């Protein structure tokens, strides 16, 4: 029997665990699910005879190492900064490892040791990063195999609310970590290359520079630039491409509205607010507005943002209950970003019967036989319910599939890596189609950069 250790049983692990439990008979697997919360781990096993739940404290070195020693492969679904101790133990005890997280410098530093020991350390094999790499490399490889030269690559991904659950003016709800949404785009200018010229968008301009996308059957979306679109140029073999741009998808109108918070300073995470626990939502808004002896908070805000009372932007702010005097922030020493997150969580939390949606969109521009061509590839995945969300499916399933492929010896290349080799992406993309994660590719007239 092959032993799989899953560390971390949070939201993203639900589809991963379900998949491995369903495969456990045919693949002769025993799955150990370890989490700080034993109750959570037990819930995820669903009483399956091929699964065990344990309370696992990652900081307990003796326990962590004991569990890793028993496993044939380790899946870490911990926050990214916590992978490294697990990874070092996997080197020590010669175990393969899989994560959905970006490869950190500390993880990359283990590459030589992983290779020496013939170990596969597969990272970035979730959604974004993950499915984006695999689906992009498939088309890029196909273009190159025909003799084509890639000149443009754009890639967009977003976690959104499904159309049937989309019932607010922002066309948005939190489908993943709210904090990451509030802090999106901070920490340096967004950088990319466009028509051969490097471009930079500072944070205060980010949400006003958007690109429009059309997804058949789902309508119009917009995309704003990710922080570093150039990170994967060499990895994807796009050093000579004239345009490389990666972005985040939202419904049209979201970015312009979000920019109001950015301009006011509400997304700032660098200082704390005095007496924030007792501050009302209305008081929070007033923090960012000048004093006036007679004007109300509403009038001051409209004046500051230069929006009219009949503007939909105003309706979006009112919908969030921002001017409520009764509701309290309730967080001690909160930063503006934390206070805003609390306010938004009231309005944007997925309700029991709400479903989420993942949208991914790639554009490939290339030259072949002197002609410029373009392929657009789109993928939309809608969640089943609050447990098996689209986010949990698209993050967890490729992690689980990669795990089985490594266990069965189909992924052989050792080292710290991401899923850009054919031996990795071909079987995973093919199997993902059985679970409704399907890319629709179509040739369109080459448009260049919009």
pLDDT, tens digit (0-9, with 9 covering 90-100), for 125-162: 999 899 999 999 999 999 999 999 999 999 999 999 99
Residues 82 and 115 in one domain: yes
Residues 368 and 332 in one domain: no
Q: Is 360 part of any domain?
A: yes
For residue range 387-400, list pLDDT tens digits in order. Answer: 889 999 999 999 99
Start-end of H helices in 170-211: 178-182
Q: In this structure, are 277 and 213 located in the same domain?
A: no
Residue 50 above 80 pLDDT? Answer: yes
Which of 79, 104, 122 is a domain's end point?
122
- Residue 203 and residue 164 share a domain: yes
Residues composing the chain = 450
Residues 310, 201, single domain; the answer is no
pLDDT digits (tens, 9 = 90+) for 251-261: 999 999 999 99
What are 282-315's pLDDT values in tens digits? 999 999 999 999 999 999 999 999 999 899 999 9
pLDDT at 449: 55
Q: What is the pTM of this model?
A: 0.93
On the question of pLDDT at 450 being above 60, the answer is: no
| Residue 92, in any domain of the structure | yes
What pLDDT is attached to residue 272?
98
Same domain, 241 and 278: no
For the segment 399-416, what is each residue's pLDDT rounded down to a tens digit?
999 999 999 999 999 999
Q: Is 361 helix (H, G, I), strand (E, B) or coil?
A: strand
CATH number of the domain encompassing residue 211:
3.30.360.10
pLDDT at position 382 over 90: yes
Express each pLDDT in 203-254 by its tens digit: 999 999 999 999 999 999 999 999 999 999 999 999 999 999 999 999 999 9
**Closest CA relative to residue 192, chosen from 219, 225, 144, 214:** 225
Tokens of 226: 């990710």
Q: Specify whether 141 is located in the same domain as 247.
A: yes
Say whether both 91 and 177 belong to one domain.
no
Residues 84 and 195 in one domain: no
Q: Are residues 221 and 172 in the same domain?
A: yes
Measure the CA–CA gap between 81 and 308, rounded to whole angstroms.
45
Number of independent structural domains in the chain: 3
Same domain? 69 vs 210: no
pLDDT in tens, 79-137: 889 999 999 999 999 999 999 999 999 999 999 999 999 999 999 999 989 999 999 99
Which of 313, 347, 381 terminates a domain? The answer is 347
Residue ranges making up the domain that contains 304: 272-347
pLDDT over threshold 80, residue 17: yes
Q: Could you tell me if residue 262 is inside a domain?
A: no
62 and 100 belong to one structural domain: yes
**What's the whole-number average pLDDT of the chain?**
95
Distance CA 47, CA 42 (A): 7
pLDDT over 90 for what percent of the chain? 94
Give yes or no for residue 319 having a pLDDT over 90: yes
Contact 78, 94 (CB under 8 A): no
Region 46-70: what's the mean pLDDT? 95
- Cβ contact 156:135 at 8 Å: no
Give the pLDDT mean for 31-60: 95
Q: Is residue 431 part of a domain?
A: no
Q: What is the CATH number of the domain that holds 118?
A: 3.40.50.720
Domain end residue (candidates: 347, 374, 399): 347
In a domain, 406, yes or no: no
């Amino acid at each position: 029997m092959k032993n799989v250790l899953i560390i971390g049983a949070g939201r993203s692990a639900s589809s991963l665990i379900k998949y491995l439990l369903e495969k456990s008979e045919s693949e002769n697997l025993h799955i150990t699910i370890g989490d700080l919360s034993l109750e959570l781990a037990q819930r995820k096993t669903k009483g399956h005879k091929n699964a065990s739940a344990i309370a696992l404290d990652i900081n307990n070195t003796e326990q962590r190492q004991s569990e890793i020693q028993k496993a044939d492969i380790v899946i870490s679904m911990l926050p990214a900064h916590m992978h490294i101790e697990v990874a070092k133990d996997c080197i020590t005890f010669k175990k393969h490892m899989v994560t959905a997280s970006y490869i950190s410098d500390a993880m990359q530093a283990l590459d030589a040791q992983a290779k020496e020991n013939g170990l596969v350390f597969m990272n970035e094999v979730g959604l974004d990063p993950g499915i984006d790499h695999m689906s992009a490399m498939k088309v890029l490889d196909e273009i190159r195999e025909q003799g084509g030269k890639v000149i443009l690559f754009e890639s967009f991904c977003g976690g959104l609310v499904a159309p049937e659950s989309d019932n607010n003016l922002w066309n948005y709800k939190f489908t993943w970590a709210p904090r990451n949404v509030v802090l999106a785009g901070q920490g340096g200018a967004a950088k990319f290359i466009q028509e051969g010229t490097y471009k930079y968008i500072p944070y205060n301009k980010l949400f006003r520079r958007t690109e429009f996308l059309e997804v058949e059957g789902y309508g119009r979306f917009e995309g704003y630039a990710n922080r570093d679109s150039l990170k994967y140029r060499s990895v994807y073999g796009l050093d000579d491409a004239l345009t490389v741009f990666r972005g985040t998808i939202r419904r049209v109108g979201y970015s312009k509205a979000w920019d109001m918070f950015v301009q006011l300073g509400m997304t700032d995470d660098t200082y704390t607010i005095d007496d924030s626990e007792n501050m009302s939502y209305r008081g929070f808004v007033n923090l960012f507005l000048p004093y006036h002896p007679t004007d109300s908070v509403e009038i001051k805000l409209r004046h500051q943002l230069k929006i009219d009372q009949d503007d939909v932007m105003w309706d979006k702010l009112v919908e969030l209950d921002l001017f409520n005097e009764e509701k309290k922030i309730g967080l001690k020493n909160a930063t503006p970003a934390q206070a805003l997150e609390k306010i938004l969580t009231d309005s944007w939390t997925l309700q029991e019967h709400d479903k989420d949606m993942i949208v991914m969109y790639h554009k490939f521009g290339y030259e072949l036989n002197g002609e410029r061509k373009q392929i657009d590839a789109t993928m939309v995945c809608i969640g089943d319910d609050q447990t098996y969300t689209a986010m949990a499916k698209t993050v967890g399933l490729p992690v689980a599939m990669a795990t089985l492929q490594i266990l069965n010896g189909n992924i052989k290349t050792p080292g710290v890596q991401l899923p850009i080799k054919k031996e990795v992406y071909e079987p995973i993309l093919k199997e993902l189609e059985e679970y409704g994660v399907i890319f629709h590719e179509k040739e369109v007239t080459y448009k260049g950069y919009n």
